[in-house]
Amino acid sequence: MPFAKGRRAKLIDDRSGFAIEYTRALKDWNGMMVDPSEWDGEHPQQRKRRIRADAQALRRSRSEPTSTAIDQQLRVWMANASQGNIPQTFGPTG
């Protein structure tokens, strides 16, 4: 079905209520037909952003050391410290 061009048609502005030319009317971001002087673009904060999920897993993870492993490392460190050999780091190499 063919439509008319609307060269002489009038439109009621949804915001102001005045009659405006149909060909000058613009559709607002919320669907209202308004005059170009009253047209408001969509605010950037109203757009839906793509939200990424937070990463949950680590690529190179280690399990938490058990209390017996920590106690064993502490005993080695204390034995070395009592002999005057104090290691620079507290780690598995002691």
Q: Tens of pLDDT along 75-92?
A: 887 887 777 766 566 556
pLDDT of residue 50: 79
pLDDT of residue 5: 86
pLDDT of residue 52: 79
Going from the C-alpha of 89 to that of each of 23, 63, 69, 93, the distances in angstroms are: 79, 20, 16, 9
Question: pTM for this one?
Answer: 0.45
Residues of the chain with pLDDT under 50: 94
Going from the C-alpha of 10 to that of each of 14, 21, 71, the distances in angstroms are: 13, 5, 87
